Amino acid sequence: MKSFLLGCVAIVEKNKPYVAMCFVQFVYAGMALLSKAAISKGMSPYVFVVYRQAFASVALSPFAFFDSKQSAPLSCNLLCKLFLISLVGLTVSSNLYYVSINYTTATFAAASSNTIPAITFIMALLIRVESISIKRSHGIAKILGSVLSLSGAITFGLVKGPPLSFMKWYQQNQNQTSSTIVHYKVDIIRGPLMMLAANITWSLWLILQGFVVKQYPAKLRLTALQCFFSFMQSTVVAVAVERHNPSAWKLGWDIHLLSVAYCGVVVTGICYWLQVCTIETKGPVFTAMFTPLALIITAIFSALLWKETLYLGSVGGTILLVVGLYSVLWGKSKENVKVENLQPQQTKEETRLECIVQH
């Protein structure tokens, strides 16, 4: 028994990046499921964001205090930039995400995150942060991948088709089930559009984050500050929206408390640290390659727990999403290899700062 345990530990130690990324995707799948459950059971999405950012700020503060990558004090100019970046990338994006998840499914929320690399690439191309060459294979791959990813998200959200045959028993038993955990309120227009807007603002945050990190490389400290700024901003928004409903702020020992604590501590705290460590050893492309795993996990558990029916259109959209994602990542990796051959030391350091992160 002891030798078996030692063998398991050795295997995990040898494959730490793979184990870490699989764990991260399980955590992200849990985020989509728990947040969908909490908001569907009546929790205000605006209050959800406030509590999540509060938990995240508390969880990251100890690590930010000992982050020694930058000893210089924060300037007033940089603090103003962080405040505005937090408003765009954390406050607006998170509020859009959690409001939209009330009008769509947890599986679609996980699927839409696969469009973030493509949206980020398109936005970076528009503001000339990213370059592209249509005469090279990697340039064509990035363009084609971006189109496929966005097409997959639209197909997933708007095209249903027939339900998958092995899940028809869910529809038959749905009327007989007296206690369904999550009650869906699906809006095929409002939900996907708001989710797309959330991903666009998050992609803009990723691009702006690259400039700030170069100016102040203490990533944990910057993240903790942005979470705190977002907490203040989200509080103002939530107070304005829920001013006639003070009971919306009440937390009990239920799915609401579990969801906000999970999203704030586990998702923002632990997973951020795991992704940073993996990026430093394996690079951002390796990290992003595991993104579709969260979609698969979410779809399986949504079907088993929430009685969510999967349709043929969803499968087709998922295939387009995954193919498009890997096309963009393949093109980016080939481009990075060529640039690294020209400027090996400088580019490697810049590449490590690139991070494709989820909500």
Per-residue pLDDT tens for 196-206? 899 899 888 87
pLDDT band of residue 6 (cuts 50, 70, 90) is: low
**In the numeric block, which tokens belong to residue 353?**
């700062």
The structural domain count of the chain equals: 1
Q: Is residue 305 part of a domain?
A: yes
Q: How far apart are CA 116 and CA 356, in angstroms?
A: 8
Q: Is residue 25 part of a domain?
A: no
pLDDT value of position 353: 39
Average pLDDT over residues 219-236: 90
With a cut of 60, say whether residue 159 has pLDDT above it. yes
The single residue listed with the structure tokens 């990213």 is: 130
Residues 138/145, Cβ–Cβ less than 8 Å: no
- The amino acid sitting at 151 is S
Residues 251/41, Cβ–Cβ less than 8 Å: no
**In the numeric block, which tokens belong to residue 340?**
């690294």
The single residue listed with the structure tokens 């991070």 is: 355
Instruction: Give alpha helix (H) positions in 41-105.
Output: 45-65, 76-86, 93-100
Would you tell me how many other CB atoms lie within 10 Å of the CB of residue 107? Answer: 27
With a cut of 60, say whether residue 228 has pLDDT above it. yes
Q: Is residue 236 part of a domain?
A: yes
Q: How far apart are CA 347 and CA 352, in angstroms?
A: 9
Q: Which of 147-151, 221-225, 289-293, 304-308 has the highest mean pLDDT?
A: 221-225
Reading phi first (left if > 0) and then psi (alpha if -120 to 50, else beta), residue 25 is in: alpha
Distances (CA, A) of 107 to 28, 47, 133, 156, 299: 11, 23, 35, 10, 5
With a cut of 50, say whether residue 177 has pLDDT above it. no
Q: Is residue 207 part of a domain?
A: yes
Q: Is residue 53 part of a domain?
A: yes
Q: Which of these, 3, 2, 94, 14, lies nearest to 48 by C-alpha position?
A: 94
Distances (CA, A) of 296 to 29, 103, 168, 230, 237: 9, 20, 19, 30, 33
Lowest mean pLDDT across 188-192, 239-243, 349-353: 349-353
Query: For 106-145, how does the pLDDT look when each residue is reduced to its tens digit (9 = 90+)?
Result: 888 888 887 887 787 788 778 776 666 677 777 788 788 8
Higher pLDDT, 164 or 250: 250
pLDDT value of position 41: 85
Q: How far apart are CA 2 and CA 188, in angstroms?
A: 54
Q: Which domain holds residue 292?
A: 44-168+185-245+285-353
Q: Is residue 51 part of a domain?
A: yes
Q: Which of 70-79, 117-126, 259-268, 320-329 has the highest mean pLDDT?
A: 259-268
Q: Is residue 177 part of a domain?
A: no
Q: Is residue 65 part of a domain?
A: yes
Q: How far apart are CA 54 and CA 116, in angstroms?
A: 25
